[in-house]
C-alpha cells in the first residue's frame, strides 16, 4: 500500500490523504457543538429545544431595575440564593415557584417549530441546566463541585477503619488524603480567582 501511494501523483496523494482524514473525523463529534444545525452536544441549553426563560428573554432597558423587570428580578433571586450558599435543589425550586407565579402569566414564546405558546412551561430540568451550565451563574457549578467533595469525603470516612481490628485501612487513608488535597487545591483556586458570591465563585 505504501509503495502504491508513493507512486501516485502528488495531487492525488493529497486528495487521498484528505479523504482519509475526513473519514476519520466522521468518527468523532465535538465536546461542545458551536453549530446548532450540526452536532450540538453537552449539558448546555443549546443542546435541547426545551424552553429556557433566561435564554429566550432579556431585560427590557425601559424596565431595568423596576418591579416590572421580571428577567432581572429572577437573576437577582438566583444570585442572592447562591451568595447565601443555598443548595442547587433549593435554588431550582425557588426559581421555579417565582417564575410560575410572577413571570409565566405575562409572557409568550415561539417554539423552534414556529408555534406560539402563551405562558410556556419552564421545567425544573431546564432551570437546573441553565443555572449549572451557562456562563451567567458559574459560581453555582463550583458549588456542585464542593458538594461532590463533601459527599466523597463523607463516604470515605465511613470506611476508614477495619471493623475487626480497629486499625486504619491504609489504602482508604491514602485515598482520603488525596481527596482532601484535591479539595484544598480546588478551594485555593476558587478563592484566588473570584470573590465570594453567586455570580462568580
| Distance of alpha carbon 12 from alpha carbon 42, whole angstroms | 38
Which tops the pLDDT comparison, 176 or 68? 176
The DSSP symbol for 99 reads I
Query: 18 falls in which pLDDT band (50, 70, 90)?
Result: low
pLDDT for residue 195 is more than 50: no
What are the boundaries of each domain within the chain? 1-30, 43-135, 137-201
Q: Give 131-169 pLDDT, tens digit per residue.
A: 999 889 988 999 999 999 999 999 999 999 999 999 999
The DSSP symbol for 123 reads -
Query: 179 falls in which pLDDT band (50, 70, 90)?
Result: very high
pLDDT for residue 126 is more than 50: yes
Cell, residue 173: 487513608
* Whole-number percent of the chain with pLDDT over 70: 74
Q: What is the mean pLDDT of residues 1-11?
A: 53
Q: What is the mean pLDDT of residues 102-122?
A: 92
| Distance of alpha carbon 182 from alpha carbon 152, whole angstroms | 11
Q: Give 47-101 pLDDT, tens digit per residue.
A: 888 999 999 988 776 666 667 788 889 999 999 999 999 999 999 999 999 999 9
Tell me the DSSP string of 97-150.
Answer: HHIIIIIGGG-EEE-TTS-EEES----HHHHHHHHHHSSTTHHHHHHHHHHHHH
Query: 104 falls in which pLDDT band (50, 70, 90)?
Result: very high
Which tops the pLDDT comparison, 189 or 61? 189
- Which residue matches cell numbers 437577582? 76
- Of the listed ranges 31-35, 48-52, 57-61, 109-113, the least confidently predicted one is 31-35
Longest dimension (CA), the chain: 76
Phi, psi dihedral angles at 161 (to 5 degrees): -110, 145
Q: What is the mean pLDDT of residues 19-45?
A: 68
What pLDDT score does 146 carry?
A: 93
Using alpha carbons, list the distances in angstroms from residue 140 to 82, 87, 196, 201.
Answer: 7, 9, 11, 7
pLDDT for residue 194 is more than 50: no
What pLDDT score does 200 carry?
A: 44
Amino acid at each position: 500500500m505504501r509503495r502504491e501511494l508513493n507512486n501516485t501523483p502528488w495531487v492525488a496523494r493529497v486528495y487521498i490523504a484528505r479523504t482519509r482524514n475526513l473519514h476519520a473525523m466522521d468518527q468523532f463529534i465535538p465536546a461542545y457543538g458551536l453549530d446548532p444545525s450540526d452536532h450540538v452536544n453537552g449539558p448546555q441549553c443549546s443542546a435541547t429545544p426545551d424552553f429556557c426563560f433566561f435564554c429566550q428573554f432579556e431585560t427590557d432597558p425601559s424596565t431595568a431595575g423596576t418591579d416590572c423587570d421580571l428577567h432581572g428580578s429572577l437573576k437577582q433571586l438566583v444570585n442572592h440564593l447562591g451568595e447565601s450558599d443555598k443548595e442547587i435543589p433549593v435554588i431550582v425550586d425557588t426559581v421555579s415557584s417565582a417564575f410560575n407565579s410572577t413571570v409565566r402569566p405575562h409572557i409568550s414564546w415561539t417554539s423552534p417549530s414556529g408555534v406560539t405558546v402563551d405562558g410556556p412551561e419552564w421545567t425544573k430540568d431546564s432551570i437546573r441546566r441553565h443555572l449549572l451550565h451557562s456562563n451567567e451563574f458559574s459560581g453555582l457549578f463550583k458549588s456542585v463541585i464542593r458538594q461532590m467533595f463533601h459527599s466523597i469525603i463523607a463516604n470515605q470516612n465511613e470506611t476508614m477503619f477495619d471493623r475487626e481490628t480497629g486499625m486504619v485501612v491504609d489504602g482508604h487513608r491514602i485515598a482520603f488524603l488525596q481527596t482532601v488535597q484535591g479539595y484544598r487545591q480546588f478551594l485555593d483556586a476558587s478563592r484566588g480567582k473570584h470573590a465570594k458570591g453567586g455570580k462568580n465563585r
